[in-house]
Amino acid sequence: MLVGVVAMIVLAAGLVALAVRRSGSDTTSSRPTAALPTTVVAPESSTIPTTEGALSEPAYVTEAKRRVSELRGLAWKAPLEVDVVSRDELGRRYRAGTERDRRPEREAGDGDTFKVLHLIPEDLDYSQTIDDLFSGLVLGFYDPETKELVVGNSGIEGDKIDIATLLTLVHELDHALTDQWFEFGPATDALEEADREEELDAYIAVLEGDAKLLESRYAERYLSEEEQVLLALGGLGGADEDVAEKLADTPPFLLEYLYFPYDAGLAFAEAQATRGPDPNAGVDAALRNPPTSSEQILHPELYAAGQGWSPPALVDLASATGCESRRRSSLGEFKMGKLLGTELSRDEAAAGADGWNGDVFETVRCGSSLGLVDRWQADTEAEATELSRALSEWAPGWSGGRAPVDGRFSGPDGAGRIIQDGTRVDLFLADDRATADRLEAAAS
């Protein structure tokens, strides 16, 4: 099974975002993820492995490889060809990889899960939305199975490369270089195959955080002060004219999930880079022993402490209810925080999702009704109480009804219940009360 990662840089309204695609053997990743790290080239004095014809590569590619290697402290182990193609050709090759790796059942299950959580509209075509979002935004990708690195030409004229294309190239070069050293392709592929989404999201955040940190270091060293200002203001181009419209039409949660590996991953990489005199040593250590949850990405100190997690036991809801299972996975701290954040302040949402020690959810379809059960294990009873309180404040907004009574809540938009038992919190949600009660009876 292969893992393909597509990097996307969006430069719009001063926002720099990158997105990644993971691939599977015969199906695709269920959501947009962060782009793989760009490769770095060996120092000026080192020798870069070449293939026949590679000596004719553009000077800006050779220079970028050399600079990336020097900044990253890693020499190239093998030749790497870089294809700079038209945006149309880039899109064609990206779509081909996406179709090759698609996981339609998992993707559909994610869509149903996000719908029952009210994170995306009920009538949204989830798969089409993801395809549309990426179609005009991908600027380059690196595939760890084929070792293919492709960058779209955003403004190259002769031997002159524009900054947007250069930083895309740098980002993807870091992915290729770290793949040569740490072989993340097979590792992420195994996590994808096993559907260990929390671990995969965390691993990708390390990859993207590393690449984003390298971009920052590259820009600081090699871009002029004027170019750095333009970059910060989003004035260096690189995105289609309809980027703002695409972003405006995308549910906020999907954008936040898209940006997570880059934003939180960068903060995580910065935390590792400051652990010693060598800014690369800590990141290299994280690539050798990657974090296993979004919690560890959001709280690097927990990664340093080696705090692990395990999913609590939850009955097979499909078997227990006779309903159709649509998805079974973990929400993790990141997604729970975003769920609470749809109705609560950022600080309240973060406090509610804090203290995660593992969770498991299952989404089912019972006739025409969707339902979900999430079993959450907190580190302490106090933290479980905080989550229960936060969910109780969130519930009326989700259901369109009143505050919970004995944990039960309902309204025109759905019904559910919140049950705390010591350090455990169970959340039951469904389109209607009958389905919510059916799930509660099965899980309890």
- In angstroms, the first-to-last Cα distance of the chain is 38
Phi-psi region of 432 (alpha: psi -120 to 50; beta: other; left: phi over 0): beta
pLDDT at residue 287 tops 60: yes
Report the pLDDT value the prediction gives residue 132, as an integer from 0 to 100. 80
The Cα 409–Cα 429 span in angstroms is: 9
Q: What is the DSSP string of 316-382?
A: -HHHHHSPEEEEEE--HHHHHHHHHTTTS-HHHHHHHHTTEEEEEEEEEEETTEEEEEEEEEESSHH
Q: What is the mean pLDDT of residues 8-35?
A: 32
Given 304, 334, 365, the domain boundary residue is 304
Q: Which residue has the higher pLDDT, 68 or 276?
A: 68
Looking at the structure, tell me whether residues 52 and 200 fall in a common domain.
yes
Report the pLDDT value the prediction gives residue 241, as an integer from 0 to 100. 57
Looking at the structure, tell me whether residues 286 and 348 fall in a common domain.
no
Q: pTM, whole model, 2 decimals? A: 0.87
Q: Which residue has the higher pLDDT, 424 or 6?
A: 424
The CATH number of residue 373's host domain is 3.40.1000.70
Q: What is the mean pLDDT of residues 48-57?
A: 56
pLDDT at residue 200 tops 50: yes
Q: How confident is the model at residue 87 (pLDDT cuts 50, 70, 90)?
A: confident
- Tell me which of 220-234, 342-356, 398-412 is least confident: 220-234
Report the pLDDT value the prediction gives residue 55, as an integer from 0 to 100. 52
Looking at the structure, tell me whether residues 285 and 339 fall in a common domain.
no
Looking at the structure, tell me whether residues 296 and 327 fall in a common domain.
no
pLDDT at residue 45 tops 80: no
Looking at the structure, tell me whether residues 130 and 221 fall in a common domain.
yes
Report the pLDDT value the prediction gives residue 229, as an integer from 0 to 100. 84
Q: What is the pLDDT of residues 179-192, one digit of tens each?
A: 999 999 999 999 99
- Both tokens assigned to 148: 């293919």
Residue type, 427: L
Looking at the structure, tell me whether residues 97 and 203 fall in a common domain.
yes
Q: What is the mean pLDDT of residues 32-56?
A: 39
Q: Is residue 186 part of a domain?
A: yes
Q: Is residue 351 part of a domain?
A: yes
Looking at the structure, tell me whether residues 34 and 164 fall in a common domain.
yes
Q: How confident is the model at residue 77 (pLDDT cuts 50, 70, 90)?
A: very high
Given 304, 327, 345, the domain boundary residue is 304
Structural domains counted in the chain: 2
Report the pLDDT value the prediction gives residue 423, as an integer from 0 to 100. 98
Looking at the structure, tell me whether residues 252 and 368 fall in a common domain.
no
Given 304, 330, 363, the domain boundary residue is 304
Q: Is residue 55 part of a domain?
A: yes
Q: Is residue 312 part of a domain?
A: no
pLDDT at residue 370 tops 60: yes
pLDDT at residue 11 tops 70: no
Q: At what angle do helices 163-182 and 281-288 cross, to 10 degrees?
A: 60
Structural domain boundaries enclosing 175? 5-304
The residues that bridge with 152 in the sheet, in sequence order, are: 85
Report the pLDDT value the prediction gives residue 161, as an integer from 0 to 100. 86
Q: Is residue 309 part of a domain?
A: no
Report the pLDDT value the prediction gives residue 194, as an integer from 0 to 100. 96
Looking at the structure, tell me whether residues 387 and 410 fall in a common domain.
yes
Looking at the structure, tell me whether residues 344 and 274 fall in a common domain.
no
Q: Is residue 311 part of a domain?
A: no
Looking at the structure, tell me whether residues 158 and 225 fall in a common domain.
yes
Q: What is the pLDDT of residues 434-444, one digit of tens each?
A: 999 999 999 98
pLDDT at residue 13 tops 60: no
Report the pLDDT value the prediction gives residue 7, as an integer from 0 to 100. 35
Looking at the structure, tell me whether residues 296 and 353 fall in a common domain.
no
